[in-house]
Amino acid sequence: MKYEWDFGFVLKFQDVLWQGFLGTLKIGVLALAFGSLVGLFLALMRMSRRRALSLPATGLIEFLRMTPLMIQLFWIYFALPILIGLKLDAFAAAVIALSVQSGAFFAEVFRGGVQSIDRSQWEGGKALGMTMPQLMRRIILPQAIRRMIPPFMERSFELMKGTTQAATIAYGELLYQSMVLSSRLYRPVEILTCVALLYLVMLTMASLAIRYVEHRLEAARS
Amino acid sequence: MSVHEWKFGVVLEYWRNFARGLLGTFELAAIIVLAALVGGVLVGAARYSKLRLLNWPATAFIELFRNTPVFVQIVWFYFAFPVIIGKQMHGFYAALLGIGLNMIAYSAEIFRGGIQSIERGQWEAAKSIGMGYAAMMRRIILPQAIRRMVPAFANRLIEAVKATSLASTIAVSELLFEGEQLANSIYRPLEIYTVVAMLYFLAIYPLALLSYWLERRLAIDERVKL
């Protein structure tokens, strides 16, 4: 069978898709901001010398990294409200799930960055009589942050891809909007192909940006 | 605020549903891993090739599948692809196509990256003692490259198992789908989704431990060699 492509539909209803695109950006950006905070918090807990802090943080990080985002999303949307007796809407559930899961990955990025700094740097700082905050601010963090940037961007890239899963709880992001539109117009081929291309353009630009930053950081080091 | 009474007993009565779901998840994951190994080697080799006729399509394929969300790929194969080929397709195959091709693209890059990371000196030394291409690959390059590929591949495998949960959205019987069905029929979402999350963790965490162990071991071996 020869299929006749007709992209006219997509252009005619493009505002539905733009609305979805905005929805994607909204949860993506919010989750990036909250996720970074969650990550910072979890990383500090995990690096703590107190086991009462580091053990739960390690457990939580591993659990969040090693289970699918979608079960976390479902748990927060369908199960958590029963526990706390408070209904969450799809938007809130999506932002919480994405923030919490990316937070766990960010925590490992932050911890990995700090722990990758050579021992001699710590010892040198201490030998000069620096206090821990001084040592962190002047010696460790400036070096560690450079190493964190590429994996942090890599994880943010994955986060943007993960926003599509909010469609499963009927949050109106790009994929959800396109599914609604394609079932209304019976043109899944054109609409879904267009949406896939939109993601492709968006994410290719993002990955080019990541590569550019990586090159710059490498050039700055040598 | 209402205090919820946890009742895991009710849920455990339905252990068969969870077992069926886990089997579905394992089945999907197993086929995807096999596809990733075979397809990844083929596409990776094409990407590595100097022939543009092989190199360009492989590069396009890899970039296409790495720069779109896997969920969009699954949805596209389920709703759009059947219209193009004019044939109905079960969700199971759409999920296999979406996740499988995605995994092939990532594996191809891992395999190619592993080979390209081997220092030039190794290639030159092998050539200078008169080894043919096949012997050089088998004896010098691959044994070193494979060590570098294995941890990255194990990580990708974890991502693939996690992605199988997306198949639930197109009515494929796997763990999350079975959980959803059960939650809709016995109205115990809290217990059911908690159990489903635990089961996913139990299924995936051994893979994580394996990859941590491999990373540590292979790192030690590299140091010894230096």
- By C-alpha distance, which of A31, A208, A190 is closest to B66? A208
- CA-nearest residue of chain B to A188? B80
- Token pair for residue A133? 């905050």
**Between chains, do A71 and B193 touch, taking CB under 8 Å as contact?**
yes
Q: Is residue B3 part of a domain?
A: no
> How many whole angstroms separate alpha carbon A49 and alpha carbon B158?
30
Q: Is residue A214 part of a domain?
A: no
**Between chains, do A196 and B169 touch, taking CB under 8 Å as contact?**
no
- Between B140-144, B186-190, B222-226, the lowest mean confidence (pLDDT) is in B222-226
Q: Is residue B1 part of a domain?
A: no
Q: Per the structure, how many domains does chain A have?
A: 1
**CB-nearest partner of A179 from B75, B176, B179:** B75
> How many whole angstroms separate alpha carbon B185 and alpha carbon B113?
48
* Structure confidence at residue A208 (pLDDT): 95
Over 90: is that where the pLDDT of B62 sits? yes
Buried b (16+ CB within 10 A) or exposed e, B80-105: bbbbeeeeeeebbebbbbbbbbbbbb
Mind telling me how many Å the CA of B125 is from chain A's nearest CA? 28
Contacts with A189 from chain B: Cβ below 8 Å: 80, 83-84
- Token pair for residue B118? 């081997």
- State ipTM: 0.92
> How many whole angstroms separate alpha carbon A192 and alpha carbon A180?
11
**Model confidence at B226, in pLDDT bands (50, 70, 90)?**
very low
Q: Per the structure, how many domains does chain B have?
A: 1
Contacts with A199 from chain B: Cβ below 8 Å: 67-69, 72
Mean pLDDT of B124-132: 92
Give the predicted TM-score (pTM) of the model.
0.92
Taking the alpha carbons of B74, B80, B82, B85 in that order, is the dihedral positive or negative? Answer: negative
* Summary count for chain B: helices (H), strands (E): 11, 0
- By C-alpha distance, which of B72, B90, B70 is closest to B170? B90
- By C-alpha distance, which of A184, A173, A46, A189 is closest to A105? A46
Q: Is residue B46 part of a domain?
A: yes
Domain around B86: 8-225
Q: Is residue A200 part of a domain?
A: no
Name the residue type at position A209. A
Mean pLDDT of B143-153: 91
* Structure confidence at residue B24 (pLDDT): 97
- By C-alpha distance, which of B165, B177, B147 is closest to B20? B177
Q: Is residue B169 part of a domain?
A: yes
- CA-nearest residue of chain B to A74? B193
Q: Is residue B175 part of a domain?
A: yes
For residue B214, what is the enclosing H or E element?
helix B189-225
Q: What is the pLDDT of residues A47-62, one digit of tens each?
A: 999 999 999 999 999 9
- CA-nearest residue of chain B to A203? B67
Domain with residue A84: its CATH number is: 1.10.3720.10
Q: What is the pLDDT of residues B22-42, one digit of tens each?
A: 999 999 999 999 999 999 999
- Token pair for residue B56? 């360009």
Over 50: is that where the pLDDT of A176 sits? yes
* Structure confidence at residue B223 (pLDDT): 57
Domain around A127: 25-174
Residue whose token pair is 């080091």: A221
Domain with residue B117: its CATH number is: 1.10.3720.10
* Structure confidence at residue B6 (pLDDT): 83
Q: What is the pLDDT of residues B156-197, one digit of tens each?
A: 999 999 999 999 999 999 999 999 999 999 989 999 999 999
**Model confidence at B3, in pLDDT bands (50, 70, 90)?**
low
**Model confidence at A21, in pLDDT bands (50, 70, 90)?**
very high
> How many whole angstroms separate alpha carbon A108 and alpha carbon A113?
8
* Structure confidence at residue B219 (pLDDT): 76
Contacts with A88 from chain B: Cβ below 8 Å: none
Q: Is residue A33 part of a domain?
A: yes
Contacts with B168 from chain A: Cβ below 8 Å: 70
> How many whole angstroms separate alpha carbon A220 and alpha carbon A182?
48
Q: Is residue B86 part of a domain?
A: yes
How far, rounded to the nearest angstrom, does the alpha carbon of residue A63 sit from its chain's CA centroid?
A: 16
How many other C-beta atoms are found inside a 10 Å radius of the C-beta of residue B51? 8
Mean pLDDT computed over every residue of chain A:
94
Q: Is residue A206 part of a domain?
A: no
- Token pair for residue B15? 């252990």
How far, rounded to the nearest angstrom, does the alpha carbon of residue A130 sit from its chain's CA centroid?
A: 35
Over 60: is that where the pLDDT of A1 sits? no
Q: Is residue A127 part of a domain?
A: yes
pLDDT winner (highest mean) among A3-7, A143-147, B4-8, B57-61 = B57-61
Q: Is residue A62 part of a domain?
A: yes
Q: Is residue B171 part of a domain?
A: yes
* Structure confidence at residue A6 (pLDDT): 82
> How many whole angstroms separate alpha carbon B63 and alpha carbon A203?
10
Q: Is residue A114 part of a domain?
A: yes
Mind telling me how many Å the CA of A186 is from chain B's nearest CA? 10
Mean pLDDT of B98-107: 97
A–B interface: beta-carbon pairs under 8 A: 120
Contacts with B178 from chain A: Cβ below 8 Å: none
**Between chains, do B83 and A162 touch, taking CB under 8 Å as contact?**
no
